[in-house]
Amino acid sequence: MAYLFHQDELPKLVSTVPGRERVFFVSKELAHVNDMLAGVMRYKQGAKSPYHSHANCEHFYFIIEGRAAVETRDGEREVGPGDMVFIPADEPHRLRSIDPLFYFEFQAPNRFKTTILDGTPDDLLWEKVDGKVWVQS
């Protein structure tokens, strides 16, 4: 079975720490897939993720609009439209928007544990805003 979703019809997750929103297109709930997690993210200017890592999970960002700084153990690097960022499993990282930011995010497999290295547990809390399509697990 094929799935076709439009971002405006999907549930949105809004970070309890202001400035971040995500919409998943591929998840266990929406597409019955547990091997990956994929969607789009929007950050307001200055918004950032906590410095964190994902055990057992490769992580990719493809920047569509805006500029951001990616922080890893190797330092900080600016990225912008057309850049793909690959973060290996267990690699500490943080993304901070310089401009309003829009990017595609892909994580695989979708069986991982996130560890916050600099931040608070609230940085990982998201509120669901229902869309037209919503499948509860």
Tens of pLDDT, residues 56-82: 999 999 999 999 999 999 999 999 999
pLDDT at 136: 38
pLDDT above 80 (res 134): no
Strands (E), the chain: 12-15, 20-26, 37-43, 51-55, 58-65, 68-72, 75-79, 84-87, 93-97, 101-108, 113-118, 126-129
- Residue 133 confidence (pLDDT): 57
Q: What is the DSSP string of 1-28?
A: ------GGGS-EEEESSTTEEEEEEESH
Domains and CATH numbers, the chain: 28-121 (2.60.120.10)
Q: How far apart are CA 46 and CA 8, in angstroms?
A: 24
Give the angle subtended at the CA of 89 by the CAs of 94 and 98, to the nearest 5°: 20
Least confident of 53-57, 77-81, 91-95: 53-57
pLDDT digits (tens, 9 = 90+) for 22-44: 998 888 888 888 889 999 999 99
Token pair of 49 as six digits: 């993720």
How many angstroms from the chain centroid is the CA of residue 31? 17
> pTM for the complete prediction?
0.89
Task: Give the torsion through C-alpha atoms of 32, 42, 88, 24, to 10 deg.
Answer: 0
Position 110 confidence tier, pLDDT thresholds 50, 70, 90: confident
50: enclosing H helix or E strand: none
